[in-house]
Amino acid sequence: MSTATETKENPVSQNGHGSSHKQRKWQDYFTFSTDHKVIGIQYLVTSFFFYFIGGFLAEIVRTELATPDPDLVQPEMYNQMFTMHGTIMLFLWIIPAGAAFANYLIPLMIGAEDMAFPRLNAVAFWMIPVGGVLLISSFFVGAPQAGWTSYPPLSLMSGKWGEEIWIMSLLILGTSSILGALNFGITILTMRIPEMDLNSMPLFCWSMLATSALVLIGTPVLAAALILLSFDLIAGTSFFNPVGGGDPIIYQHMFWFYSHPAVYIMVMPFFGVISEVIPVHARKPIFGYRAIAYSSLAIAFLGLIVWAHHMFTSGTPGWLRMFFMATTMLIAVPTGIKIFSWCATIWGGKIELNSAMLFGIGFISSFLIGGLSGVMVAAVPFDIHVHDTYFIVAHFHYVLFGGSVFALFAGLYHWFGKMTGRMLNETWGRIHFALTFIGFNMTFLPMHQLGLLGMNRRIALYDPQFQSLNQVCTIGSYILAVSTLPLVINVLWSLIKGKKAGRNPWRALTLEWQTTSPPAIENFESEPVLWAGPYEYGIDSENEDEEDVEDMLTEVSAQS
């Protein structure tokens, strides 16, 4: 397709490489750049750097769990490993990776030159490596070992400086997240091209709008909790320390008031990614645009009033447990709407089963399992049994890995061509998908059973009766580790030798595909034209040929 486009188009305005407009040099990616595309790629590369660290820690944890005895690392070390694994994966991989796509795509999708506050944007990014390096440096003083939830009083009693570094690092990363969200929200609300109203925005923008609202409401509460915890730790106050009359349950409420919405902060940007990827490769309009757009808002709202379902066995009275059970179950409704709508989008389409689509479908099928187990754990009587067991570990990995990570890869294969000007290799992409999908399910599916049968989480030693299932999980995690190799090879190879992407390799309709790949420094050579809705596929297929979309694209660029 792209070759046909290239010959037709004006060679000057087309083409990602060697064209008339100025290109970013590789050095630019190591500077305090205010270009949203540079920042987006900085976020993405940084987040993948931390992904490898977090993944390495996960492999140590799984290797330790291959046998029932704590024989690979000391128990204190083991607790540091899973604490750091959780913290890194959430705060330094998934959240920054979501911000990466948001930074790169929002201005392009709404036809803007950059974000509303470019300098703030750069500040927000550069806090990530600072916070990340600070967090990793805690290994030198003894990393935190109270879990990523860091409940007092344990967090006040196990390694003062590791814990304090963890707090400082999270405060930095949280601030970055707030600055980013401010930028995304305001950019989406005020900088769209005039023809684009809210209901003709790409769905990714809707999901980022909802995500930004959650970040702005939730993160300050986490910051408050962490600052108070820091006082308890350093200054010996007793906000949460029961020895001095403090209340550890208050910390749990404050922590989860952010950290439950944080699940949606992590997964909703990727809901948006899926809503972009699936229609393009199924060649069909998204099914129920408004339902998907507004269900993001519904999820965001409900996400703010479910936090105590993490505390059903903790210091919560019965009526509170019942209230939070009801609100939690309600979230199944907007989430269900999304899953059904994605399926209906695929159904009857003309599916191009490339790597992006494979990861997209992999996302739906894995996230579905996380959603179903999510409704189960909402039921208080059942949650009392499985809370803090491997069932929960399975559940949240199906939500965060099955949800966020599969969609992250779908987005990577989908937009890599736009970001770099070269396409990722399909064969390596498919190998990557197959290994990820098999490894993922093998690692996390058996954990459901482990939890139900009685294996609690965050333990280095466990009952020998659970060993065989644990070994399956461990082998699965090794397959997951191997799955990163084809990805790395593919990315490095494609950067140099990959097929040229051209403007619009997928024949997609959202605005980012109207500009060159990679886009010019201020995105569009001329004001982009909104000549179709974001998902109006198949409208001209009744009596005319698909070539028309190409012609229209050429026309658009020729007008410049």
Partner 1 sequence: MKIPSNILTLIAGIALTLICLWYGQNHGLMPIAASAEARTVDELFNFMMTIATGLFLLIEGVLIISIFKFRRRKGDLTDGPPIEGNIPLEIVWTAIPAVIVFILAIYSFEVYNKMGGLDPMASHDMGTQMAHHHHNDNLVALDLEGQEMALGLGASPGNKDEESLVVDVNGLQYAWLFTYPDTGVVSGELHVPVNRQVTLNISAADVIHAFWVPQLRLKQDAVPGREAQLTFVPDRVGEYPIICAELCGAYHGAMKTTLFIETEAEYNQWVQNNTFAQESFLDEAVANYHVP
Of residues 169-228, which lie at the interface with partner 1 (CB under 8 A)?
none
**Which of 225, 214, 135 has the alpha carbon at shortest distance from 180?**
214
17 touches 503 (CB < 8 A)? no
CA distances from 439 to 40, 92, 472, 480, 490 (A): 29, 22, 10, 5, 19
The amino acid occupying position 283 is R
Q: Is 365 in the site for partner 1 (CB under 8 A)?
A: yes
- Angle, CA of 253, 256 and 257, to the nearest 5°: 80
Residues in 99-128 that interact with partner 1 by CB under 8 A: none
Q: How many CA atoms lie within 13 A of 115 on its CB side?
A: 33
329 vs 438 by CB, closer to partner 1:
329
56 vs 340 by CB, closer to partner 1:
340
**Which of 101, 18, 529, 90 has the alpha carbon at shortest distance from 276?**
101
CA distance 457 to 143: 19
CB of 553: closest distance to partner 1 in angstroms? 14
Q: Is 28 in the site for partner 1 (CB under 8 A)?
A: no
Per CB under 8 A, the list member of 191, 217, 368, 552 interacting with partner 1 is 368
Site string for partner 1, 135-164 (x = CB under 8 A): ----------xxx---x-xx--xx------
CB of 85: closest distance to partner 1 in angstroms? 14
194 vs 245 by CB, closer to partner 1:
245
Q: Is 326 in the site for partner 1 (CB under 8 A)?
A: yes
Site string for partner 1, 42-71 (x = CB under 8 A): ----------------------------x-
Residue 332 token pair: 């199944």
6 touches 554 (CB < 8 A)? no
The amino acid occupying position 211 is T
Per CB under 8 A, the list member of 49, 340, 478, 493 interacting with partner 1 is 340
456 touches 388 (CB < 8 A)? yes
Q: Is 72 in the site for partner 1 (CB under 8 A)?
A: no
Report, in angstroms and rounded to the nearest whole number, the Rg of the chain calculated over CA atoms. Answer: 23
Element spanning 281, H or E = helix 248-282
Q: Is 422 helix (H, G, I), strand (E, B) or coil?
A: strand
103 vs 145 by CB, closer to partner 1:
145
Stretch that binds partner 1, among 171-179, 193-201, 342-350, 409-417 (CB under 8 A): 342-350
E strand intervals along 87-197: none
Q: Is 543 in the site for partner 1 (CB under 8 A)?
A: no
Q: Is 461 in the site for partner 1 (CB under 8 A)?
A: yes
CA distance 557 to 9: 8
**Number of residues near partner 1 (by CB under 8 A):** 104
CB of 519: closest distance to partner 1 in angstroms? 25
Q: Which phi and psi (to 5°) does residue 465 adopt?
A: -65, -15
299 touches 268 (CB < 8 A)? yes
CA distances from 479 to 358, 436, 559 (A): 18, 7, 51
Stretch that binds partner 1, among 129-137, 211-219, 363-371, 473-481 (CB under 8 A): 363-371
CA 544 to chain centre: 39
Residues in 275-294 that interact with partner 1 by CB under 8 A: 282-291
CB of 100: closest distance to partner 1 in angstroms? 27
Residues in 395-454 that interact with partner 1 by CB under 8 A: 448-449, 452-454
How buried is residue 71: exposed, middle or buried, by Cβ count under 10 Å (0-12/13-18/19+)?
exposed
CA distance 481 to 59: 8
Per CB under 8 A, the list member of 133, 198, 333, 485 interacting with partner 1 is 333
Residues in 462-481 that interact with partner 1 by CB under 8 A: 462-463
Q: Is 539 in the site for partner 1 (CB under 8 A)?
A: yes
527 vs 551 by CB, closer to partner 1:
551
Residues in 370-399 that interact with partner 1 by CB under 8 A: 372-373, 375-376, 379-382, 384-385, 387-389
Residues in 298-317 that interact with partner 1 by CB under 8 A: 313-317
In Å, the largest CA–CA distance within the chain is: 78
Q: Is 8 in the site for partner 1 (CB under 8 A)?
A: no
107 vs 417 by CB, closer to partner 1:
417
Stretch that binds partner 1, among 21-29, 130-138, 170-178, 340-348 (CB under 8 A): 340-348
257 vs 287 by CB, closer to partner 1:
287
CA 202 to chain centre: 18
Q: Is 531 in the site for partner 1 (CB under 8 A)?
A: no
Q: Which phi and psi (to 5°) does residue 456 adopt?
A: -80, 165
Q: Is 344 in the site for partner 1 (CB under 8 A)?
A: yes
